[in-house]
A and B are shown apart, each in its own frame.
Chain A
Amino acid sequence: MFLQAAWVKVGWEWVAMGHVDFNYEVSRSLAACQGVLLLVDANQGVQAQTVANFYLAFEAELAIIPVINKIDLKQADVESTEEQMRRLFDFKNEDFFKISAKLGINCSEILDAVIQRIPPPNSDHSKPWKALLFDSTYNHFRGAVTNVAVIDGKVQQGDKISSAHSNKSYEVQEVGIMSPDQQSTQELHAGQVGYLIAGMKSIQEARIGDTLHLSASPVEPLPGFKPAKPMVFGGIFPMDQSEYRDLKVAVDRLTLNDSSVTVAKDSSAALGLGFRLGFLGLLHMEVFNQRLEQEYNATAIATTPSVPCKARLSSEKLIKQYRTDEITIYSPAEFPEKKDVAEYLEPIVMGTIITPDVHLNKIFSLCETKRGEQVDFTYIDTSRVLLKYKLPLNEIVVDFYDLLKSITSGYASFDYEDHSYEPAELVKLDILLNGQVINELSTIVHKDKAYSVGKSLASKLKNVIPRQLYEVIIQAALGGKVIARETIKAYKKNVLAKCYGGDISRKMKLLKRQAEGKKRMKKIGNVDIPKDAFISVLKR
């Protein structure tokens, strides 16, 4: 029974979240398991995510049962899929299950294999209760609903339990298993995976990776997990400032169920009050923004995502000020000047691309423009190649995946995992309007990209800032050095010719509307910038 519970749980994670951003969640779930089924679609073959997930399970030393699904489909290429998995993961012929979940072909054999091949959890019924908290959701009425894997002993309703991390005590209100919905049980005992409700008021109290034990008998805590670290940051602003409160409510509600999103208030002179949210990765951000729109009907402006970089300081003064010689930079405003810095570091990811080999050249040149460094190249069958690239996260946050899909007609798959921080020549690119720096348009870019980014920002702005009374000079600059420049010429004539009797009301109306519009514009020096212009530049 407990095996099934874990299976349901993990199975869901793999289907819905078989993506890198949720590595963290997947690895959490894996820690509560002894074995996994590695499902591969015979129609598509091994995908980049399959590789990532395989290694997560492999490193967690779990028993892995390879399963090839959808064998009933006409286009299914079971042979190749099997060959790919043999080459990549060293499976043997007899390891495979070839099934059709839809038609039920060979499914029951899997259950037998689960029992035979996956070892029972290493647990002890006689020891005091000890459990790993590996997930939690928020219920409006009951507080945090935690998912736990029981290592030793047993727990039941009414037990007093404590968190090893916070030492806070709770009384167990309900325990049960997932089958696949919550089904309450008398107790949860060693080896079981289930849910536990103990009146934790917020999801922050239900700390993922925490060890729970009976209050009366403390235990040695489990190794636990590192807290999830946001790697992609994006601003969220209401379309109209009057909608700020609604947006706040929506963000609060969504983050209740997703403690991996970090939330900080943000304010921009152009966009007003909003939030700066930290996400585990791109898909995470995408999913969050989509849910924000769908579930809470909140239309928001999402700004271009950025990634945290680091600086090793050389200035004694700054080291004293920060009390460390290595700082993390989350926004361009914090970017220290080059003279105070020994080196800048940027986050690098290890990207996995699996693609039909006909697209290789295009992928090589894409990765090259994204400053990628190839570290592996393997044919996984006669025509498909697995590529590993070290890529700066900053280069892939905006459109890498879309570009990859479009140059390969959708045939390549991509996944990445965090790899390291590596030295990079980073610079802060400023945008100036008539000589004045516009803070919200500053960005941190690699030196080699500064010119093209600056040029494209300047020309984008040229297209969205309307012509006006005064000439507008748009400049992109590094430090004091201008690297790109555009000019919006001043109006030479802007007056409507006719204005007698009946024209007067019409004209008055028009001019008043313009006056109204001016109020909503941001004035920079003598330049009026419509909010839309900022949005079109800041928006992803």
Chain B
Amino acid sequence: MRRCLVQETGTLLQQSGVKQVNSVFFGGGTPSLALPHTLEAVLEVISQHALLPADAEVTLEANPSSTETEKLREFKAAGINRLSLGVQAFNPSDLQLLGRDHSVEDSLRALQEGRTLFPGRVSVDLIFGRPRQTVESWQGELKQALSVCDDHVSLYQLTLERGTALFRQVEKKQQTVPDPDTMAELYACARGTLQDAGFRQYEVSNFARNGAESSHNLSYWRGKQYIGVGPGAHGRFASRGVGQTVREARIQTLEPQQWMGQVERLGHATVKRTSLSQLDILEEILMLGLRTTEGLTDERWQQFSGGASLHDIFGTSEAVQGFINAGLLEFSHSVLKVTPSGLAVLDSLVPDLLLATQEFCRGRCDGDFTGLHQTSGRAE
């Protein structure tokens, strides 16, 4: 596994031709179960192919279980400098309901250890919208979280995944999740509580204080390139040397055994490469940019729009004007961004903005505006 990760990292870095890697994120599943040595080897191969600055953000996603906590010191030695802890809840019965192996005490211990090792650089994941959760109980839990957390909180609404025990229970009506209005209240309550504690919301589900924003995650939302390594990883980058500099969407083989086999044979296991049209890219940076409180700048937009400004595209849209009038969207100083109330209903804003973008691109009729996906299939 280690050999394959190292191999694929090297191959993809080479294909991308990037000169500098600004951040690394070991996430998805439980990378903290891996040996610290493995991560060290990956970081090393990155340094061989590109510049990895000494202060580059290197995050590890970890569960607060005791075995993983014990290894944190070693991970730090391996090069990790930021920790994202999947605490999820400060309530024993909910942890059980969510199918978590750790206890509240585990979380407290992991947080203490993490904050000692990575002061100011520990993030806590919390899940809301749990069965029978009320605003009152949530408020209490947030208070507890704030008393022990560091400077970063990620806040996720529970999504019921098919195949989980909880999904089945809800389906059979043995459990009920909060209704949409309560869900909205839970979210609003968390936003308010975190703000009162000095946190600034910088994205739909991310809050930071003292400059502890995750630069890695910000890169996604700012439309930067990223390389996905490992089974099922997604990437967005332009390959160099294949006669094109078009940005592509890449997906690596999902099944670990197959993934390893392919990496061993081909050096990487990209299972799907899709060239992104200008429209695809614009749609993506629009959707992602609006998730942030900094919004979408005209400068970034024009990098991909071939010179058309945000105003050219959204200035005449009736829907956009409606959103602005309703206090959901702001468009000033060449920045398009949602207001705090707009952020909560972003998914209802984006479709209309996508339509405006599509309409504009169709009007241009340029070859590269067709929005056609050229799938080159399995990479050689």
Contacts and interface: CB of A to CB of B under 8 A. Distances in A.
B358 interface: yes
Interface stretch (A128-136, A380-388, A444-452, A492-500): A492-500
A508 interface: yes
B330 interface: no
A504 B288 contact: yes
A468 B354 CA distance: 17
Highest count of chain B CB atoms <10 Å: which of A489, A492, A502: A492
Given A497-B205, A502-B228, A508 B284 contact: yes
Given A499-B288, A511-B351, A494 B204 contact: no
Interface in A478-498: 489-498
Given A501-B234, A504-B220, A505-B234, A494 B345 contact: yes
B31 interface: no
Contacts of A297: none
B328 A469 contact: yes
A499 to B, nearest CB: 6
Interface stretch (A247-255, A394-402, A512-520): A512-520
A505 B251 CA distance: 10
A512 B371 CA distance: 12
A225 interface: no
Contact of A494 (B232, B326, B346): B346
Contacts of A514: 347, 350-351
A512 B283 contact: yes
Given A494-B347, A511-B350, A501 B288 contact: no
Contacts of B185: 492
> Which secondary structure characterizes the binding site on chain A?
loop
A495 B287 CA distance: 11
B156 A498 contact: yes
Contact of A515 (B28, B184, B322, B351): B351
Nearest to A492: B184
Nearest to B272: A505
B349 A469 contact: yes
A225 B328 CA distance: 67
A495 B354 contact: no
B232 to A, nearest CB: 7
Highest count of chain A CB atoms <10 Å: which of B28, B185, B328, B351: B351
A508 B283 contact: yes
Contacts of A500: 27, 217, 220
B187 interface: yes
B180 A507 contact: no
Interface string B335-346: 000000001111
Nearest to A467: B180
User: How large, as a class, is the contact surface on chain A?
Assistant: 20 to 34
Contacts of A468: 348
Contacts of B287: 507-508, 511
Interface string B350-362: 1110110010000
B83 interface: no
A270 B354 CA distance: 23
A519 B27 CA distance: 38
A496 B288 contact: no
Interface string A133-174: 000000000000000000000000000000000000000000
Given A493-B183, A493-B187, A504 B346 contact: no
Nearest to B228: A501
Contact of B345 (A495, A497, A499): A495
A526 interface: yes
Given A493-B187, A515-B358, A502 B351 contact: no
A501 B345 contact: no
A470 interface: yes
A489 to B, nearest CB: 8
B155 interface: yes
Interface in A505-535: 505, 507-508, 511-512, 514-515, 517-519, 526
Contacts of B226: 501
Interface string A457-470: 00000000001111
Given A498-B156, A515-B358, A493 B344 contact: yes
A469 B329 CA distance: 12
A493 B180 contact: yes
Contacts of B187: 493
B291 interface: yes
Given A467-B180, A504-B234, A526-B322, A499 B284 contact: no
Contacts of B355: 515, 518-519
Contact of A505 (B155, B249, B291, B349): B249
B181 interface: yes
Highest count of chain A CB atoms <10 Å: which of B234, B288, B347, B352: B347
A405 B288 CA distance: 59
A29 B88 CA distance: 81
Contacts of B217: 500
Contacts of A519: 355
B159 interface: yes
Contacts of B322: 526
A444 B28 CA distance: 61
B360 to A, nearest CB: 13
A505 B276 CA distance: 12
A493 B184 contact: yes
Contacts of A499: 204-205, 220-221, 288, 291
28 contacts: A469-B328, A469-B348, A489-B181, A491-B348, A493-B180, A493-B183, A493-B344, A497-B156, A497-B205, A498-B156, A498-B205, A500-B220, A501-B28, A501-B226, A501-B234, A502-B233, A504-B220, A504-B236, A504-B284, A507-B287, A508-B287, A511-B347, A511-B351, A511-B354, A515-B351, A515-B352, A515-B355, A526-B322
Given A492-B180, A497-B204, A508-B284, 13 more contacts: A491-B184, A492-B185, A494-B346, A495-B346, A497-B205, A499-B205, A499-B291, A501-B226, A501-B228, A504-B284, A511-B351, A514-B347, A514-B351
3 pairs of A and B residues whose beta carbons are closest in the complex: A492-B184, A493-B184, A515-B351
